Amino acid sequence: MGNELVPVDYTQLPAVSMGSDDSFAELAKGSDFLGRLQLYSKGAAISKGKIKPGTWGIPDGEDITDLGKSVDCIPYARRPKAIDLSDVEAIITDYDMESGEFQRIITASMQADSGCMYGTSFLVYERTTGRFLEYFCGTKSTRTESKKIFPFLTLREEDIAARKLEGVEPHGPLAFTLENRLIEKPRFSWHVPVVIRCSTPFTREPTLEQITFEMNRFLNPTDAGVEKVNEKEASQERAR
């Protein structure tokens, strides 16, 4: 008989790393920019086979984290947002709903293929990735559904008094689920978000310190105005 290979039990090896999974997740971040939660329906990413239509994902340069047909989130904050993407080398972002620029973008968004969007931007914590993300409801269909997220945000005593609400009690942020459905028309079809209450409790949540840090950064954005993008520099940055 020849020599036979003896199976190796690799589970007997020493620990493969020093430090917690959360620590390595922090080190693996590409940048401090807030990730974006997005529902994919059509476009280049789908044409290239990076993700299927009717799927939630997080774009990161050329890569996309596939989150599946639904995602569970906890909402922590909201802000108004308008963005003009008509010139990808000079993107305009505005968070002041009373400003002339914000109103210009609203008007421009009414034109087809304008590259302009406006609506409510939410800071959410996504279950499977354990990441804080921005969910921007900047299209007509997402703006309509966005108001269903409002009741899941924290409701304080002072909020109840200011809004003169009756029959409600203060509460912290409540988890919700984002699903989607297909809208079919004679000439085209697209997916739209659907907001429902989350039925599965979160077993992992961020610390109060993490929440406070992300909320302060989200509600005090530094990227308003014109962001000029040099494609060569952007490509080099993505490759790092």
Q: What does the block give as tokens for 225?
A: 């105005």
Q: Which of 31, 144, 32, 138 is CA-nearest to residue 95?
A: 138
For 74-98, the DSSP string reads EEEEEEEEEEE-SSTTEEEEE--TT
Write out the H or E segment, with its range, that includes residue 233.
Answer: helix 231-239
Type of residue found at 115: G
Answer whether 34's CB lies under 8 Å from 133's CB: yes
Q: Which two tokens stand for residue 166?
A: 């009756």
Where are the chain's structural domains?
A: 35-80+124-223
Exposure of 217 in the CB half-sphere (CA atoms within 13 A): 13
Contact 180, 228 (CB under 8 A): no
Q: DSSP class of residue 14? A: P
Per-residue pLDDT of the chain (240 residues; tens, 9 = 90+): 556 666 766 666 676 666 666 665 555 554 568 999 999 998 899 999 999 999 999 999 889 999 999 999 999 999 999 999 999 889 999 999 999 999 999 999 999 889 999 999 999 999 999 999 999 999 999 999 999 999 999 999 999 999 999 999 999 999 999 999 999 988 889 999 999 999 999 999 999 999 999 999 999 998 877 776 544 343 333 333
Region of residue 194 (phi > 0: left; psi between -120 and 50: alpha; otherwise: beta): beta
Q: In terms of Cα–Cα distance, which of 34, 61, 186 is closest to 123?
A: 34
- Per the listing, tokens 């904050």 go with 77
> How far apart (Å, rounded) are the C-alpha atoms in residues 195 and 177?
6
Parallel/antiparallel/unpaired status of strands 131-137 and 35-36: parallel
Q: Are 75 and 153 in contact (CB under 8 A)?
A: yes
* pLDDT for the residue numbered 13: 65
Q: Which of 142, 134, 159 is nearest to 217 (CA)?
A: 134
Distances (CA, A) of 105 to 88, 141, 220, 230: 15, 17, 21, 23
- For residues 155 and 121, the answer to whether their CB atoms sit within 8 Å is no
Could you say which DSSP state residue 119 is in?
Answer: E
